[in-house]
């Protein structure tokens, strides 16, 4: 489930690409979706500032990542899929929810909320990375998730305050690394909430090398696929 195209106002493109690579390697068939709604705002990524008087549609922008093969989130049903995965990027906190503005008092897009609740009720796994675990924290009471560490640690974890908001939402936050040294133990790289079948990994919540983020996302995807039982 995508939230636009670009880290500051949509889906984090590296995360989406990493998820797709790992899903492909795992032999999964993939369908991409996004809500057919306006973006909260448009950010000029070269300046890191909102572009005034410009508007874009989340579904249309997400189609850039999907290479055009995408459908409205309203068409996503649990009957057609074994699992659902949400990449991060500020779009998860701006377009899929209002977390970027409202924090613990945020609202979640109605279709996003429906999808999370439907997959949870059906006992099908849900994968989330970077900032997107806040969606599960808000919608699935008592879920266990990770966004990494709970202290900034000199700038290594610039968004560490998110962990506190997750606790305020009623979820349990579990401190995790982005990845660990080889040999990889995939149960350590990503947090697996076996009760709720929610799998999370910090990704770009940490200032670290790209390949470590890629490997951590791989751990999340592998665990999601494992939980499908297929």
Assigned token pair, 188: 């350590």
pTM across the whole model: 0.95
Q: For residue 174, indicate whether it is catalytic.
A: no
Cis omega (within 30 of 0) for bond into 183? yes
Among 5, 106, 129, 130, the active-site one is: 130
> Tens place of pLDDT for every residue, the chain, 230 residues?
999 999 999 999 999 999 999 999 999 999 999 999 999 999 999 999 999 989 999 999 999 999 999 999 999 999 999 999 999 999 999 999 999 999 999 999 999 999 999 999 999 999 999 999 999 999 999 999 999 999 999 999 999 999 999 999 999 999 998 876 555 443 347 999 999 999 999 999 999 999 999 999 999 999 999 999 99
User: In whole angstroms, what is the distance from residue 87 CA to residue 131 CA?
Assistant: 8
- The architecture that CATH gives domain 13-228 is 3-Layer(aba) Sandwich (3.40)
């Amino acid at each position: 489930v995508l939230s636009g195209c670009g880290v500051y106002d949509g889906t984090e493109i590296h995360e989406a690409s990493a998820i797709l690579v790992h899903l492909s390697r795992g032999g999964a068939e993939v369908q991409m979706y996004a809500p057919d709604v306006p973006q909260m705002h448009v950010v000029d990524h070269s300046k890191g500032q909102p572009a005034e008087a410009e508007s874009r549609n989340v579904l249309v922008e997400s189609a850039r990542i999907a290479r055009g093969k995408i459908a409205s989130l309203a068409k996503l049903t649990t009957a057609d899929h074994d699992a659902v995965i949400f990449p991060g990027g500020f779009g998860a906190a701006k377009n899929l929810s209002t977390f970027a503005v409202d924090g613990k008092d945020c609202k979640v897009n109605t279709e996003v909320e429906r999808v999370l609740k439907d997959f949870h009720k059906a006992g099908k796994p849900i994968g989330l990375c970077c900032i997107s675990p806040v969606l599960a924290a808000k919608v699935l009471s008592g879920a266990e998730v990770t966004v990494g560490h709970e202290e900034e640690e000199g700038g290594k974890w610039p968004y560490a305050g998110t962990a506190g908001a997750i606790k305020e939402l009623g979820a349990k936050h579990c401190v995790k690394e982005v990845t660990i040294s080889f040999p990889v133990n995939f149960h350590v790289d990503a947090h697996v909430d076996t009760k709720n079948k929610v799998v999370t990994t910090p990704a770009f919540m940490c200032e670290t090398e790209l390949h470590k983020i890629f490997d951590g996302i791989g751990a999340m995807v592998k665990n999601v696929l494992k939980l499908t039982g297929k």
